[in-house]
């Protein structure tokens, strides 16, 4: 009896909410990100190009990339500074040359932007900042710094 009642409730729910098709197996590969290149410059004048994968669920790629770039530079410089304090004089000089040049802050959104556009940009910026900080940390761990 319990089984019949459960199934009738499920069918009633499905009828009230509308029919939803069963999921089908997707045979074509889906694109989960789009790659962009971000260039940063060291204090010594060398450029470094970073491949950034912008997820397709991000509504504003420029805001995502801006957030990625600014947080990458910030995290890189902060963590590099922490390593400089415990390094020898020769290594400290090399680490200082690896510092990344800061960038200008992104402009404040215009007053003509709708609330949805502002929310979209803010969310994309935040996602980019998270990805940029994580990437800088991992890149710095992989960098042969010497001590």
Can you read off the two tokens belonging to residue 104?
A: 């200008």
Phi, psi dihedrals of residue 25, rounded to the nearest 5° = -75, 125
Residue 117 pLDDT grade (very low, low, confident, very high; cuts 50, 70, 90): confident
Q: Which of 51, 76, 70 is nearest to 124 (CA)?
A: 70
Residue at token pair 């939803």: 20
For the question of whether the overall pTM of this predicted structure is more than 0.75, the answer is no
Can you read off the two tokens belonging to residue 103?
A: 């960038």
pLDDT, tens digit, for every residue of 23-63? 444 444 445 678 889 989 888 888 989 999 999 999 889 99
Maximum Cα interatomic distance, the chain, rounded to a whole number of Å: 81
Return d(Cα 22, Cα 94) in angstroms, integer.
59
């Amino acid at each position: 009896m319990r089984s019949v009642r459960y199934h009738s409730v499920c069918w009633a729910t499905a009828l009230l909410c509308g029919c939803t098709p069963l999921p089908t197996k997707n045979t074509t590969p889906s694109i989960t990100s789009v790659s962009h290149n971000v260039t940063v410059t060291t204090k010594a004048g060398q450029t470094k190009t970073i491949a950034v994968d912008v997820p397709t669920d991000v509504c504003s790629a420029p805001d995502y990339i801006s957030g990625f770039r600014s947080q990458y530079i910030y995290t890189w410089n902060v963590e590099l500074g922490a390593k400089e304090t415990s390094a020898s004089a020769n290594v400290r000089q090399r680490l200082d040359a690896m510092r990344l040049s800061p960038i200008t802050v992104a402009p404040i959104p215009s007053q003509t932007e709708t609330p949805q556009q502002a929310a979209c940009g803010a969310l994309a910026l935040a996602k980019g900042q998270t990805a940029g900080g994580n990437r800088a940390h991992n890149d710095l761990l992989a960098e042969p710094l010497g001590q």
